Structure 1
């Protein structure tokens, strides 16, 4: 029997309901996720909203008890007042440079480690467990350990370099503006390279061995196989690894706090925010720095997600 347009319209009117009226199944689904939504609101959105509100106020706890609404003045001061702008730009520069260099080195070293661990050899499981030890340690412990290694008086690094004849006097690794950046970066690379290697290793194990076998039959070299099989196969995994590590590196705080306390050109955005919020108790201006840092990291995440989305669309 043919269905007329009038009958379809009548069925649609009968079966449709307003958006605020849910079916029993929909109501049950919303009730089941409601606890999670409430937790997210309390843990994430409520503190963010409070921080944004405080950033719109002049609220120096040392001299006043109540916040005074000033709108965007804290943000304007951050980028217009000479001293504040210089410090903020220096923090941006260190944070960006640190993120780019540390993540780049971690990717190179992590790729090498992942390629080695992907091979079949005796004791591979033990080697994988040992490689993950730096990543399993907390950042504060790693920073304290490297602080002892870098110590100018009794540090192991200076002793080794002097015994090899590479230096004739102790180097101030964490008290020299030209060297301290690299000291902090290398400590972070040592800790985080296993994380990148672990992610890349998971991607390597998803690439079919038949592709490499076919490439060998065709006479492809190792480098050609790596360029035309490994890298394209790892592309989504690489982007995920870089996304996680870049966001994490942009939030650097504890490594700087323990090793240098933000001195000698190593003040990151998070450390600058910490100084204003907790050391100076300037909750208004410190909250504006926190919002600026949040926007900075969010932009990085959006760029990576855009790249990931484009790659997925191309694969489809």
Structure 2
């Protein structure tokens, strides 16, 4: 087998040396969508399935057939030592992996949860971040049509009100889990405490993605992508300490760090993070579990939202915060669309 070449580099030379010269129509060439090479995370192991010289080629609807014939007629058996035709899971046979189509059709089939039209708030809340990342990550080699650049700009990050609401919901999830962890520790439920520590570690990492305005990938690449965030330098070692065992000091430092980072976003009045005992909210009950003043961050974030309907929405979060956004759910069911309708109904009530 040929020496490993990162998939994005392979796609770049594939376009420049093979495909570009065969296309005489306005077009867009890119490598986006599914695949570890789109995220820049592929390695030698990635070559065992659905990996090789491939890319998307978007043209006008009237040009699809002509461009397909022209490009495929000049396709060599190999490129840089890799076959240009191999087994396609989608087609169930050996085929090239050139997706030659229109931008609109590719979006509707490959990223069905992401509308090519301007989405409303409900639609934004039901789009899995993995799909948004598949659109905005990857590389564009040529964009003669301009459609993809506009789409990637439109979906580069959430509208400000939606972003603020997601931040509030993430604080809500953290605030709900913190006293549960404290209670598990108090009752010597070591297994339960470790499970909740893992849950809180993921929630805090998820908060870092939101604060840095970076879409989170699905579970396989979550930790890898977190390492690319600015927060990873300081937050990462604290997360590691939390994951290897009971460490209240690491919890406190991580929470305070996220609170300070939130204050520095400049989208709310500064709150000032502090660790305090857990107030149950029923009578005068106070329990000796160290928690962050998440309620103040929630209130400040919600108060900064201009859309009254969104401010009043129950803080269940977006699709990613509400449930597991695995491939079955987001690609092979209509649940994201159904959830969008549920959000829409709630926002209009």
Q: TM-score range by the shorter chain?
A: under 0.3
Q: Which has more radius of gyration?
A: 1
Q: TM-score, normalised by structure 1?
A: 0.24
Greater per-residue strand proportion: 2
Q: TM-score, normalised by structure 2?
A: 0.22
Larger RCO of the pair (alpha carbons < 8 Å, separation 6+):
1
Greater per-residue helix proportion: 1
